[in-house]
Amino acid sequence: MNWNIPNILTVARLLAAPGVAVMFLYFHRPWADWFALTLFVGAAITDWFDGYLARLWKQESKFGAMLDPIADKAMVVIALMVLTGYNGMNPWLILPATIILFREVFVGGLREFLGSKAGLLKVTRLAKWKTTAQMVAIAVLFLGTGLEYLNILALEGLTPEQHIAAVAAGEAEAIRTCGNMDCASYANLVGIGLLWLAALLTIMTGLEYFAKSLPFLRDET
């Protein structure tokens, strides 16, 4: 294996995947949310740079081609696990997350069964859009969890009416608003919407991959 910059970025992205969960182990919220968001976004950016630099510098390698999708899947799976836990097992979040996880397990098992033939099934543009949609959705959802925790701190057990009075008296922090709703609700709504879009793209790419693999799954007669 060559330790060139593209491969180093890919390895760093793989190591960042469990780091997202570790942030909630070593830091209090909302700092854990902000650190997890920063780490996830930084790792997601490397997903574009490692492939771009590998092609630009002609440093594409089998190691990078193998590790790149693993790093992407590890990031998405671990982040979704953390988000579903901190969003109170919201069914609107759990269902698209389940679809995404099911597809990754199914395709991973299919690739393992195909062995060396799996390399013949190239990554499509739709699959790249799927990965992008997943990462953008997860980043927005991490933003939502952080803002929601700030809302909880601002309320500190007060009713909405008591909180309004406390804010007017300068005794409490105002909840951040984005238009007609608080920013946390807006971020969560947008994030869940993007995750459903990602789930739809995930289904489409899974079916596409399965259809391409059918010729290799037929029994010889």
The pLDDT of residue 202: 92
**H or E segment and range at residue 15:** helix 5-26
For the chain, domain boundaries: 5-217
Q: Does the bond joining 96 to the residue before it have cis omega, within 30 degrees of 0?
A: no
pTM: 0.85
Query: Cα 76 to the chain's mean position, in Å?
Result: 4
Tokens 């790093």 identify what position? Answer: 71
* Among the listed residues 64, 57, 79, 77, the one whose alpha carbon sits nearest the alpha carbon of residue 11: 64
Tokens 């997350």 identify what position? Answer: 97
The pLDDT tens digits of the residues spanning 27-65 come to 998 899 999 999 999 999 988 888 777 777 777 777 777
Q: What percentage of the chain has pLDDT greater than the value 90?
A: 36
Higher-pLDDT residue of 149, 100: 100
The pLDDT of residue 194: 95
DSSP string, 53-77: HHHHTT---HHHHHHHHHHHHHHHH
Is the pLDDT at 95 greater than 90? The verdict is: yes
Average pLDDT over residues 116-127: 71
Q: How confident is the model at residue 118 (pLDDT cuts 50, 70, 90)?
A: low
CA distances from 185 to 49, 91, 199 (A): 32, 16, 21
17 vs 79: CA distance, rounded Å = 8
The pLDDT tens digits of the residues spanning 163-195 come to 677 767 676 667 777 766 778 888 999 999 999
Query: Are 207 and 108 a contacting pair, CB within 8 Å?
Result: no
Is the pLDDT at 100 greater than 60? The verdict is: yes
CATH code, residues 5-217? 1.20.120
Structure tokens at 77: 């799976």
Is the pLDDT at 221 greater than 70? The verdict is: no
The pLDDT of residue 60: 75
Q: What percentage of the chain has pLDDT greater than the value 70?
A: 89
Tokens 């696990």 identify what position? Answer: 81
Bridge partners for 178 per DSSP: 181
